[in-house]
Amino acid sequence: MKHSDSISSIQFASIVTGTMVGISLLGLPRFVVQEVGNAAPIASLFGILCSLVGVVVVTMLGKKFPKQTIISYNKIVLGKFLGNFFNIILIVFFLLLMGLETRQFAEVMVGALLPSTPIQVSIFLIIFLCSVISFQNVSSFAFIHFFYLPLSIIPLFLVLIPSFRDIEIYHLLPIFGHNVSINDFLNGSLRIGQAISNFLVIAMIIPYMKNPNKSVKSGVWGFLLGGLIVFSLITITLGVFGEVTILEMFWPALVLGRMVQVPGEVLARIDAILIISWIFAVFTSLLSYFFFSVRGIAEMLNTEKHRVIKIIGFLAVFCIALIPQNIYEMYDYILKITTVGVLLIIPYPLLILMIAKLRKKKGDTI
């Protein structure tokens, strides 16, 4: 059956970008530089290109099964039992990721804006905001991404572009780092994959496109825009601060925003604008995680009771966000969870695609 609501190719691309550009941006440069030093831009580019393979594979699966989400074609390709097993893994992954990144959001809010506010308040409010959105219509979810994307990325470019004049070229040399081993280089690239391993949410969106055959092109363009932002942020941050200084910061991108000055002092606090746009980006990323989890559970259970699922999901995410005892433990959990996410964005979809071809499974025949 044709779905009652549909989204355009531009909205689909905005979902890819809006999901990628999120919580990790503020601290990502530090984690990459920590692994590879001055080779961070090259390692980032390699990580982005590897992740691009995942986008292509996921969208190719969407073209092969134009009327099914990943929840459905997992069962078609792998069988009901094994398919549901991996469906549960995917849903649990996004719930864990949402909980931990919600905690990261709250840590930044307490550390940069609201030092006197209990961290539980920030956690509660952002999850509550995601919970009140209706997931009955995918078009509404797509419109939210489309609407907030300019509000998320334009202020970011307002920070990045003026920062070019503060770049010291010697901070970027040598471009392959100082005695960086292959293992370190791959670890640095892995950090990028971990940060943008959330785009798998598009596997729930493709059946609702007006033209699923354009999913590959739209997905690639959306990913390249998000990848450009990530690459630019890491390169400029490293060029401005240098390897040693970045390693002393928790959120280098936020410090970069505080350094920007607008001629004539029209805007006195660029970092405040950056934080506001970052909050929009956080909201759209977390909304994507919650969308995947709620819609995935509803599809597995063959129910339309999204409200009940959202209430249970709200409680689960809130509890997950409170598990880490401090910011160091939080980042440790995030790195472990997102390592699993890297396996889910490239090897797993590629395996599903190969099995589908071997078993000659197609969505049109279902």
Is residue 240 domain-resident?
Answer: yes
What are 2-29's pLDDT values in tens digits?
445 789 999 999 999 999 988 888 889 9
Name beta bridge partners: 209.
7
Is residue 166 domain-resident?
Answer: yes
Percent over 90 (pLDDT), the chain: 64
Is residue 2 domain-resident?
Answer: no
Q: Please identify which residue in the block is written with the tokens 């893994």.
A: 89
User: Which residues have a Cβ under 8 Å from the Cβ of 234 and sit 6 or more positions away?
Assistant: 28, 29, 32, 33, 40, 41, 44
What are 55-97's pLDDT values in tens digits?
999 999 998 999 899 999 999 999 999 999 999 999 999 999 9
Q: What is the pLDDT of residue 267?
A: 56
Q: Please identify which residue in the block is written with the tokens 């901070």.
A: 171
Q: Are 50 and 189 in contact (CB under 8 A)?
A: yes
Number of domains present in the structure of the chain: 1
DSSP three-state, residue 134:
coil
- Name the pLDDT band for 283 (thresholds 50, 70, 90): very high
Residue 169 belongs to what domain range? 9-365
Indicate the DSSP class of residue 198: T
Is residue 297 domain-resident?
Answer: yes
What are 32-55's pLDDT values in tens digits?
999 999 999 999 999 999 999 999
Is residue 1 domain-resident?
Answer: no
Query: What is the amino acid identity at position 39?
Result: A
The CATH number linked to 297 is: 1.20.1740.10
- Name the pLDDT band for 360 (thresholds 50, 70, 90): confident
pLDDT at 129 over 60: yes
How far is it, in rounded angstroms, from Cα 287 to Cα 195?
16
Is residue 359 domain-resident?
Answer: yes
Is residue 49 domain-resident?
Answer: yes
Residue 178 — φ and ψ, nearest 5°?
A: -100, 105
DSSP three-state, residue 39:
helix
Other beta carbons less than 10 A from residue 4's beta carbon: 10
The stretch 286-312 carries a mean pLDDT of 93
Q: What angle do CA 123, 96, 349 make, to 5 degrees?
A: 140
Largest CA distance in the chain: 66
How far is it, in rounded angstroms, from Cα 337 to Cα 322?
16
Is residue 3 domain-resident?
Answer: no
Q: How much is the pTM?
A: 0.92
Instruction: List, as one string, the DSSP characters of 135-186.
Output: -S-HHHHHHHHHHHHHHHHHHHHHHHHHHGGG--GGGG-STTTTT--HHHHH
How far is it, in rounded angstroms, from Cα 86 to Cα 89?
5
DSSP three-state, residue 115:
coil
pLDDT at 146 over 70: yes
Name beta bridge partners: 38.
none
Q: Are 86 and 337 in contact (CB under 8 A)?
A: no
Q: What is the pLDDT of residue 166?
A: 86
Q: What is the pLDDT of residue 106?
A: 94
**Number of residues that this document lists for the chain:** 366
